[in-house]
A and B are shown apart, each in its own frame.
Chain A
Amino acid sequence: MKSLVVGIHLERDDIHVDALHVDALPFGDLWLSGLAIVDGQPLADRDLVLRVARVRGELLDRATFIAVRYGAVAPPLPAIRPEWRDVLIANRGNVEMTLKVAAASPKARPRREDFTSGAAYLRALHDTAAAADDSFRDAAERAFSAIATRWRARDNASLEMAALIPRSRVEEVLAAGESLKRDFPRVPFLLSGPWPLEVFADADQQ
């Protein structure tokens, strides 16, 4: 029997989801949460994917954890990165929110066959990264007053801001999102969360 890993947690008691049979696996001085799967169980199973999504949400209700990208199976246990414990302690009371913005003017994606080198293709790909209206970006950062924010271009059609905020401010940030909708009615965006530590799980980038 193996476990499909969901997250990395500070305390054993952080892993408890009623009726969803979530395992707690010792992981050095931390803990992994996981769902029991049988050998050979297809990870693309729709019900399994939706179950993991539900477990993620319920675990976050209990305590902040570091999210593990879907698809990791244990054992074997992965190597522990030393910064994870510090990240979990520092962000015990924090969660992430995501603001996904459709590009102001999406650009056509380059075709690989039009380039003789991979480097030239990557440069062209980078040049097509989506951009958002500067005034919207500034307003979003001001409105959320986050502990930290990170912007990244997802592709040629969208970019997103991850915001690290205290749990106590989730409703306030959602309300700020409603204000942004009124102030920027022509900018299509989606504010979602709270999420576990995903973007801010890497202490080196904070």
Chain B
Amino acid sequence: MQRIRRDHKVRNFHQAKWDEPVVFELHRSGERGVIPPGTEAGITSEVGGAASLIPAGMRRSEAPKLPEIGQAKVLRHYLRLSQETLGSDLNVEIGQGTCTMKYIPRINEMLIRTPSMMELHPLQDPDTAQGMLEIYHKLDLAMREISGMDAFSFQPSSGTQALLAMASIVRAYHESRGEGDQRDEIITTIFSHPSQAATAAVKGYKIITLHPDEDGFPDLEKLKNAVSERTAGFVVANPEDTGIYNHRIREFTDVVHAAGGVCFYDQANANGLLGITRAKEAGFDMCFFNLHKTFAAPHMCGGPATGALGVAEPFVRFLPGPLVVHEDGKYKLKDQPDVSIGKVRSFHGVAQTVLRSYAWIMSLGAEGLRDVARIAVLNNNYLYHKILQIRGASAPYIKGRRLEQVRYSWKQLTDETGVTTEDITRRMCDFGLHYWTSHHPYIVPQPFTLEPTESYSKEDLDEYIQALAHISEEAYSNPDIVKTAPHNSTVHRNDESSLDDPAHWCITWRSYLKKTQAK
């Protein structure tokens, strides 16, 4: 018996590939997946059949064409689809810049599954939900400490919804001061998440977008030219998705305040700042954190999530309500005054994610949170140092000075080989890895944005670097293998020609069947 050789440099990976049909194709007439609770004879004898209890014209005339499938087959089908999904638990998921794909502690996933969390109704008497409200309140206090803000709402259920809430508060604030019509402009930067601009536009604002200076910093002179008596507010992330921290941020917020505007902070990129610096000292009036990024709640394929919204004292009365307060030894839900923005989401937001983030903070403490920030930045700078050694890769703008993520460019590699960043992200799938390019528009050409977080070990980072280096070599020596990737994933390259064609796009199975009938 000989030692089995495992000295290959990149993982010899293949994604699960089930060639699984669409669920409708599993239909077998008569099969049942689950039988719902029925009606006792005593009830039927009292009220009669259901048909007699609803208006005749409202009875469903044709049964919905849902498939009929036995229980084990439904389970098998969805388990196969889950195997064909590369959740961050399974791989070195450091390629989703700004998404902060950190370790999701299993204990928190267990804790939320207890009936005393899952079976709470949001409108039950607050006296019967004291444990839940205590968690809300304590997370509020912890986030005030982390940010320097004076009160938090966990009602917004995503970063985008928190941005909408902030834009709404800005509007309500200026209206309360009689300047609602006068101040109709919001300033942001081109590197900001599209939702910063988009949610401000939803609230009727005109958007002014600033481009960076040659070092990649937001341009203070451009900001000075952009502010006026029409300025309602300024929203920005810091660091931006490039990973560059704007050290003059206080000058920016001062300029906006001098013009009468409100400064609100997108803290999606907070993972390198915890315990190091805060929104308050940077001069922000409000900020939000993604609990499903920085605070270790899972991303869940795209939600449910929470955008924890914190504001300074002058803005507390505008927060969506009700707020959780601690008064007379009890936790209570307190209605907000009429001047508040009302509500952005039903009830109190995603309570189980509030619980997860509270549990995570309690698992780390102040020193642990500072370690998160330090190691996230250490991991990122290690990665940065080594990626710049890969042929064809560069990181535009100022050298060094990156915090927790970096936006890189394959421009040199693309110019020299014709292989694009989109090709490379598809080839990464062949190694059980992935990266995200950038928000649109692509200011950095052929972009890729990596954020390792604090969760990965040096070996994990080395695996990722090795895979990218390998693909770079392939681009220079055997570009076709990259351009035609993926080869070891669940499926091969999409033919996307129908996706923008109304005559051919198929958003549902029934639409697909209709549109492909004659063929």
A and B interact physically: no
| B contact residues vs A (CB 8 Å cutoff) | none
| A contact residues vs B (CB 8 Å cutoff) | none
